[in-house]
Structure 1
């Protein structure tokens, strides 16, 4: 077999590998900042050299092919450039496992921050956690300190609450990224700061008491103390969120109710003073 055939087999195998990896959401992390520009450029250069050396291929066709490939590469590079994606790796204290965060922002009146996550073992190949991307919209008046994208997500204060779960205290409250799909159920016990499991029935009973407009019932979840309140004169009821020593994930405020969000698999505090909703606690399976 000639060198030309071996070269074509090698470059074709690399292309096939990248395509298969992309279909299954796996990526070479060192290629992410430049997308597929490096493989595209390698293909153009290798194929151009082979074509120029082949006696049966018109050199004008080779030049046209190189120009077309270069144009495609430049267009692709332009979209990468305007995307301004940044990357940060968050290493796990448990083992060689790590989480890579890909983030960018878009500003038009308000600023929207986009975060995608990749789990990786050795930092070479990453698996995209495509169902756990985070989008946070911040109005200009809500960000007087001009927090950057890393501060909006809370990257520097991220915490591995379990071997496969990373918690971020974001601008919108705590959010968790699960490196394994089953960790959303099996690692619930490890998700609270004090590692104390909360029985689903306790939360359900508290929700029922709140709906019955009782006053003074309490429950502690992830460091926050929730207290049902009812005012006889006005007929108003609410849930008071207490945050001892300001160490719990949710700031002190008032909320209207707790609901089940089956799509996000969380009990949610809704219609709160600071914002509409907060993730309170994962919904566990019986």
Structure 2
């Protein structure tokens, strides 16, 4: 759901910029015949700054698109996954502010985008953040990244998502289709102890088995 909201906000900003670009282009076309030589030089310099801000904005959108396409295929950038959607969203909003300043966009649009951003960040902060832990095999050849969190309502539900580092630095691939759920009651052990990280059995290149008094979890590594 958070990713959908992030994509919606990014698309809204993109549509807003395209609309305002069209309005500004029309206004400049109407004013161009009235410009003298000095004004034309100033206009050329201003357009150069606008182009740079526009290129940066398009770069930010390209990054957002890459993140979405990678996620569809089950691949994630480790720095982005650890911060959720906040990092790419902030990049897009910074690019928007740079373009808004270069284009002298109306305060209403800047305030509107700022309000949307603040509301989204408040929502992100209010939700439970998923911590991540890296677990390596004794040989060091295999590394599994575990996203874990828990929710208590009578009994405690422990949720796990597993990722494996890829050959591309900073990129990891999701290993399990859904989210693993282990239920406990009255335990003081943390998520990783409930999973059985300390009792893991590794067969490099094939699988890892996490075992505890609560569950046994097998992960295929190939």
TM-score, normalised relative to structure 2: 0.70
Structure 1, unaligned stretches of length 5 or more?
181-286
Runs of 4+ in 1 over 4 A off after TM superposition: 93-96
1:169 is aligned to 2:217: no
Whole-angstrom CA distance in 2 between matches of 1:130 and 1:148: 21
TM-score, normalised relative to structure 1: 0.55
Deviation of the 1:78 alpha carbon: 2.1
Q: In structure 1, the residue corresponding to 2:91 is in which secondary structure?
A: helix
Q: Identify, as 1 or 2, the structure richer in helix.
A: 2
Deviation of the 1:51 alpha carbon: 0.8
Deviation of the 1:7 alpha carbon: 0.9
Give yes or no for contact 1:117–1:130 (8 Å, CA) kept in 2: yes
**What does residue 180 of structure 2 align with?**
134
Q: Identify, as 1 or 2, the structure richer in strand.
A: 1
Deviations 1:73-118 (A, max 9, x none): 3212322xxx242211112345644110111111111111111100
Q: Which residue, 134, 138, 155 being the options, matches 1:110?
A: 155
Give yes or no for contact 1:114–1:136 (8 Å, CA) kept in 2: yes
Aligned residues: 172
Whole-angstrom CA distance in 1 between matches of 2:139 and 2:62: 35
Larger CA Rg, structure 1 vs 2: 1
Bigger relative contact order (CA 8 A; separation at least 6): 2
RMSD of Structure 2 on Structure 1 (CA): 2.1
Deviations 1:137-167 (A, max 9, x none): 1122xx3xx2221111111221212423111
C-alpha distance 121-25 of structure 1, shift in aligned 2 (>3 A): closer
Deviation of the 1:23 alpha carbon: 1.1
